[in-house]
Structure 1
């Protein structure tokens, strides 16, 4: 089963949770194995929330959060390395989530194919020749990826990209 790393910034808001759940369910239904970073590190997200609410010693809070942050970053990097493809959700207005941009750059450097999903209809490119930031778009397309406007197109592209599915 082809492994898909789903880079997204949707896990930071409760309003976006149904959107990411819908994407995950659709891709799983099509036979893809999904690594979704927020779900995969939910245990650490809960610990971050607990620490921020109850830890009163700011030095200790900073130290503990730095350890957790490093663990989340390590988990995500390993999952990108083990994935067959990275799907990057590019919605969010003019500028995409900085973590998603970092994941795109890392995956591109590792030679991974990247597929962008941008359902947001607002203009966000540096000029009319790009859909998003030109450097981000370059990293998406340099290994055979492209930016697609909807989940149906994404599924069809992934099936062609990963024919072993």
Structure 2
């Protein structure tokens, strides 16, 4: 006969210890094993540049890089990143020293409300490193996992083309 928990009883939650290496700094953590990378970044480390949009992996607002590859941090458990390098929007530039992609987004007005911008920039960096920043059609295809509710897509594509060295940003 198995024992059933009493109504209202609190279940013990498995804790796991690991170290997140984020933007070159190490952060030892002990959390619920189910904590997502997104929640660890925002709630445990105070790195709020990475945004929580849909929390289902469909909008791209939570895009970060893990070992140089773009991932959706809302679908990745924080503990899975133990021993890997996580790069967030905070790790690519700052107010006094913007990354060229950030500068290009500003120049081309590649944002309106700005909520999706960190994820858009992190995806843009990844697609450039993947060698997929060619034609506007190619950029749109490889950026399709990042949604901009304001519809600044034309400006985003122009910003990426310029940052990738394509100064013929005509669409």
Q: Structure 2 length normalisation: TM-score?
A: 0.28
Question: Radius of gyration: which is bigger?
Answer: 2
**Structure 1 or 2: more helix by fraction:** 1
Higher relative contact order (CA 8 A, sep 6+): 1
